Chains A and B, each alone.
Chain A
Amino acid sequence: MMRPPIILLKEGTENKQGKQQIISNINACQVVADSIRTTLGPRGLDKLIVDSKGQTTISNDGATILKLLDIVFPAASVMVDIAKSQDAEVGDGTTSVVVLASEMLKRVKPFIEDGVHPQLLIRSFSKACEEALSYLKELEIKISGEKELREMLVKCAATTLSSKLVSQERDFFANMVVDAVNTLDESLPLSMIGIKKVNGGNLNESRLVKGVAFQKAFSYAGFEMQPKHYTGVKVALLNIELELKAEKDNAEMRLNTVQDFQAVVDAEWNILYEKLQKIADSGANVVLSKLPIGDVATQWFADRDMFCAGRIHQDDLDRLLAACGGSILTTVSQIDDNVLGKCGKFYEQQVGSERYNFFEDCSKAQACTLLLRGGAEQFIAETERSLHDAIMIVRRAKKNDSIVAGGGAIEMELSKMLREKAKSIAGKEQFFWLAYARSFEIIPQQLCHNAGLDGTDILNKLRHRHAQGEKWSGIDIHREAVGDNLAACVWEPSIVKRNAITAATEALCLVLSIDQTVKNVRTPSGGQMPGLPGQ
Chain B
Amino acid sequence: MASMAQLMFDEFGQPFIVMREQENQKRMTGVEAVKSHILAARAVAGTLRTSLGPRGLDKMLVSPDGDVTITNDGATIMEKMDVQHHVARLMVELSKSQDDEIGDGTTGVVVLAGALLEESERLIDRGIHPIKVADGFDLACKKALETLDAISDRFPVEDRERLVETAQTSLGSKIVNRSCRQFAEIAVDAVLSVADIDKKDVNFEMIKVEGKIGGRLEDTVLVKGIIIDKTMSHPQMPKELKDAKVAILTCPFEPPKPKTKHKLDITSTEDFQKLREYERETFETMIKQVKDSGATLAICQWGFDDEANHLLQANDLPAVRWVGGPEIELLAIATNARIVPRFSELTEAKLGTAGLVREITFGTAKDRMLSIEQCPNNKAVTIFVRGGNKMIIDEAKRALHDALCVIRNLVRDSRIVYGGGSAELACAIEVAKEADKIEGIEQYAFRAFADALESIPMALAENSGLAQIDALSDLKAKQIETKNPHLGVDAVFAGTNDMKQQKVIETLLSKREQISLATQVVRMILKIDDVRVPDDERSPY
Chain A positions within 8 Å of B, measured between CB atoms, are 16, 20, 23-24, 27-28, 31-32, 34-35, 38, 42-43, 45-52, 56, 58, 60, 69-73, 76, 165, 168, 199-203, 220-225, 229, 244-248, 250-259, 261-262, 264-265, 267-269, 295-296, 299-300, 302-303, 349-350, 352-353, 355, 373-379, 382, 451-452, 530-531, 533
Contact = CB atoms under 8 A, between A and B. Distances in A.
A376 B261 contact: no
B193 interface: no
Nearest to A452: B129
Interface stretch (B304-312, B450-458, B459-467, B528-536): B528-536
Contact of A221 (B259, B263, B301): B301
Contacts of B532: 47-50, 69
B79 to A, nearest CB: 13
A202 B513 contact: yes
Contacts of A262: 256
A189 B466 CA distance: 62
Q: Kindly name the residue among B11, B15, B527, B539 whose own CB sees the greatest number of chain A CB atoms within 10 A.
A: B527
Contacts of A220: 325
A265 B33 CA distance: 67
A198 to B, nearest CB: 8
Among A28, A221, A261, A269, which residue has the most Cβ atoms of chain B within 10 A? A221
Contacts of A252: 260-263
Interface string B200-212: 0111011000000
Contact of B527 (A32, A165, A259, A264): A165
A50 B533 contact: yes
A253 B138 contact: no
Contacts of A246: 258-261
Nearest to A59: B528
Interface in B265-287: 265, 274-275, 278
A500 B426 CA distance: 50
B524 A378 contact: yes
Contacts of B255: 261
Interface string B58-101: 00000000000000000000000000001101100110111111
A201 B329 contact: no
Contact of B90 (A42, A299, A376): A376
17 contacts: A38-B530, A43-B129, A47-B532, A48-B528, A49-B531, A49-B532, A52-B534, A199-B96, A202-B517, A202-B520, A221-B325, A252-B261, A254-B262, A258-B264, A349-B201, A451-B131, A531-B16
B159 interface: no
B260 A71 contact: no
Contacts of B99: 200, 353
B406 to A, nearest CB: 15
A315 B413 CA distance: 34
Contacts of B93: 199, 375-379
Given A27-B10, A46-B527, A258-B278, A244 B263 contact: no
B534 A50 contact: yes
Contacts of A255: 262-264
B206 to A, nearest CB: 7
A253 B258 contact: yes
Nearest to A303: B338
A52 B19 CA distance: 13
Interface string B164-194: 0000000000000000000000000000000
Given A221-B325, A299-B339, A376-B521, A48 B86 contact: yes
B20 interface: yes
A23 B11 contact: yes
A298 to B, nearest CB: 8
User: Which of A49, A253, A375 is packed against the most chain B CB atoms within 10 Å?
Assistant: A375
Given A203-B520, A533-B14, A222 B20 contact: no
B250 interface: yes
Smallest CB-CB A-B distances: 6 pairs: A376-B93, A200-B101, A200-B100, A45-B529, A353-B100, A265-B256
Contact of B5 (A34, A222, A269, A375): A34
Nearest to A42: B131
Contact of B201 (A200, A350, A377): A350
Given A200-B100, A222-B332, A261 B264 contact: yes
Given A252-B261, A255-B264, 14 more contacts: A56-B86, A73-B17, A199-B93, A200-B99, A200-B102, A224-B333, A254-B262, A255-B262, A296-B341, A299-B338, A379-B90, A379-B521, A451-B129, A530-B20
A251 B339 contact: no
A267 B516 CA distance: 59
B22 to A, nearest CB: 9
A56 B258 contact: no
A34 B17 CA distance: 15
B122 interface: no
A251 B261 contact: yes
B480 interface: no
Contact of B262 (A70, A257, A264): A264
Contacts of B250: 221, 295-296, 299
Given A27-B8, A246-B261, A261-B256, A530 B521 contact: no
Contacts of A350: 201-203
B260 A530 contact: no
A533 B278 CA distance: 79
A52 B274 CA distance: 65
Contact of B8 (A31, A42, A70): A31
Contacts of B329: 221-225
B394 to A, nearest CB: 19
Given A221-B329, A530-B17, A531-B16, A47 B261 contact: no
Contact of A45 (B130, B199, B301): B130
Residue among A165, A256, A267, A350 having the largest count of chain B Cβ atoms under 10 Å? A350
Given A48-B531, A201-B513, A299-B250, A31 B5 contact: yes
Contacts of A201: 97, 100-101, 513
